[in-house]
A and B are shown apart, each in its own frame.
Chain A
């Protein structure tokens, strides 16, 4: 207001009376701030350090309901037909078949491990039903050197990178072959060689960590980026806000990949947020943003590929929101029929899954047929069953490992407790499951 009054007066600076007005008001603002508008009116621009914009003279709230939602990018329709030929990523046959193999193998593993939990053979499981396309499409667009930070429903990314069925199942069983030494719950996978940072249960904590890792990669300058996966529910955590803001202000080469599958356990998105999903937040943080059809593996591939280019070339973060639907229950501890209709889930299962869509595409190309489908189903099921039996037969790790890796080197008090445990268990051996574990050396 003051600035504006001053500018009005400054027009008449030649006139002594107005100069006095200015003096009396003690306004020492440079006349350079007052630009002459082309219309001849005197205009000024806001000089506030906090934003770049112009003044308006009518009171007007920005109404989020005035704008249509951010559109969903799609390459092929539900029948696997490419809509815009120029958007076809033109992936070769082998790549597409690997995409299909990995999505379906993950699907088969999910079914068997889900059942094994129902039978009490593993303690917990989370399926990936309906979201296989987001995993494979994005993973295929990355370099294997790119670091992955995930939430827990991204096993397909590991599958794409070469995590073996044994590795998946050894982790779920927490047996002596598990690289995580049986310390975490099932589906908390990790792999150093595959640059997949080990999953933890705490939601969204990986997000600002991923920004930090991206900053480190940028400083190393080796053409690498980070991808960070999270669900739309996790995006409500404070850590998500920190992650976006840090990545933008510190110019981190990171792709934030949101799996918006409609639910966070039982909570539908209408209870999760009131804006236009997660994507609408991206530009608020100053990030490149797009929304993609998560059931379209090619759209996901294209979006991730383009995002990776931006990260590596411009050192800026990108937000991708992949719209999808969580076909399965949240986890084995959840019965989703308690909060959503069976019909709703059935619709997505029948009408729009990433696996079916890619299969249509492959059939149209002549790369796939019924016989191949049958054979692959049989083969993949057999592989999973064989691995499952191997993992189940393996012993659990030596109980001593309960105490390792708390620190790089074991401090005295933990070493003392380790000895106490061993002594105690030796004295009361019949009360502990020592036979299912490997023996400790003594």
Chain B
């Protein structure tokens, strides 16, 4: 039993740390804001979540201490990380940050133009 728990704790914390490291590589390596945001908002979320899960398991099985704040932290992170990624992307797009290697940059540009035309007519 305790071997399994030890293994799980070590697994979660190591995987979390690795995911955070890889998210950092992604932020350095990827070419533009949007793709960097992919790396930062996904890998870092799961990384921090699994580190927190490992911490929770450690304190639960070694100290017998059920820390509900860690669980709440996991839930809050899970809810807020995609929203923050979306908001940063949206702010970047609306302030005119260019996309790296455009392949299909379809409707958003048109949509914005249509909106601008409509507001200039009004």
The answer to whether A and B come from one shared complex is no
Interface residues, chain B, with chain A CB atoms under 8 Å away: none
Interface residues, chain A, with chain B CB atoms under 8 Å away: none
